[in-house]
Structures are given as structure tokens and as C-alpha cells.
Amino acid sequence: MPVLPWTTPNPPPPSTEVHLFASRFETRTLLGALMFLARTPRVWRQVSRAPGAYGASLKAEPLKRTFWTLSAWESPRALKDFARSGAHGPTARGLAAQMKDSGFAAWTASSDDLPVSWAEARRRLG
């Protein structure tokens, strides 16, 4: 399974509350999965420069047409600003018709606990 490992664009202050977000996307077709993969590098570059981004990772299971994201943010506002700007906004809108199913989870943790495990993200996604 291809993984973009945890990257830390902006190191968080020690012992501070961070806002975590996990998602799971399943595309309708293999073509949809290939489209998701093709657009990932632009969004990944945006994450690496995003204000308030404390960390992010992505797991791709393209043959299963499933993609998982995990990220840590300074605030819910920082996440919302990221999602609505740069490459992410048009990419999400452009892929919407390709999606079969999706799931989302948000929670808080201490910055001392970063990076959060994929097992924890999957547990929270149900």
C-alpha cells in the first residue's frame, strides 16, 4: 500500500492541544482512483506550506479504490482554510462525482502524541 509518510510542515509547540482530522474516501471506479492519485501531489504540496498544519500522512489502496488521510492542525479554522483554498478546494470539487463513499473523524489530542497512529485513525473512522 503506497504511503506518504507523516510530514511536519510546522512543528507544534510542546504540550499543546492539536486538532486531528482523518478521512476515508472510496472511489466508484478504478479510473476515479487513478484520478485521485494524479491530483494528490498538488494537494500534498499545499499541505507542506499550509499555515497551521502540524502534520499529515496519506495511505492509498488504489486497487481497492480507497484512500485514507490523517492530519493535525493548529485549529479547526486552519483546517477549514486549507480545505477551501489552494489546490484542495478545486480538487475536492472535481473528484466529488467519482466518490462512492467517504468517512470523516475529528478529535483533539496533545501535540506530544504526534504523529497519531493509523490504527487510531481507523478506529475513529469506524
pLDDT bracket for residue 27 (50, 70, 90): very high
| DSSP type of residue 18 | E
The residues facing 110 across adjacent strands are 17
Q: Show the domain range for 67.
A: 3-125
- Give the integer Cα–Cα distance in Å for 94 and 109: 32
pLDDT in tens, 28-46: 999 999 999 999 999 999 9
Sign of the Cα torsion 125, 59, 77, 116 reads positive
Per-residue pLDDT for 2 more than 90?
A: no
Q: What is the CATH number of the domain that holds 16?
A: 3.30.70.100
pLDDT bracket for residue 69 (50, 70, 90): very high
User: Cα 29 vs. chain centroid, distance in angstroms?
Assistant: 21
pLDDT bracket for residue 1 (50, 70, 90): low
Write out the E strands in 15-85.
17-27, 53-61, 66-73
Model confidence, pTM:
0.94
Cell numbers linked to 55 = 502534520
- Domain total for the chain? 1
pLDDT in tens, 74-113: 999 999 999 999 999 999 999 999 999 999 999 999 999 9
